[in-house]
Amino acid sequence: MQTCAILDDAGVPYTWNRVFGPPERTIATYAVRDHADIVVLDASHLGFFHREQPSTPPENADGKG
């Protein structure tokens, strides 16, 4: 996985877990149980997480035409 490769290259110690269940609750449960300082989630191939796309204002949003 690209995320692990980046952490490995940087020498950052980490633990890796694959978890199953309702995404928000499952991630939160494991983070609390394992006393995680930070959670890094690579959701690039997961359909239930979507990257937030920057919003583009509609044309004429400034009210000038």
pLDDT tens digits, one per residue of 13-57: 988 888 888 888 988 999 999 999 888 776 666 655 555 555 555
Q: Can you give the residue range of the structural domain that contains 19? A: 2-33
**pTM greater than 0.85 (yes/no):** no
| Residue 42 placed within a domain | no
* Total domain count, the chain: 1
| Residue 6 placed within a domain | yes
C-alpha 7/C-alpha 13 separation (Å) is 7
What one-character-per-residue DSSP string does 13-64 give? Answer: --------SSHHHHHHHHHHHTT-S------TT-TTS-PPPPP-PPTTTTS-
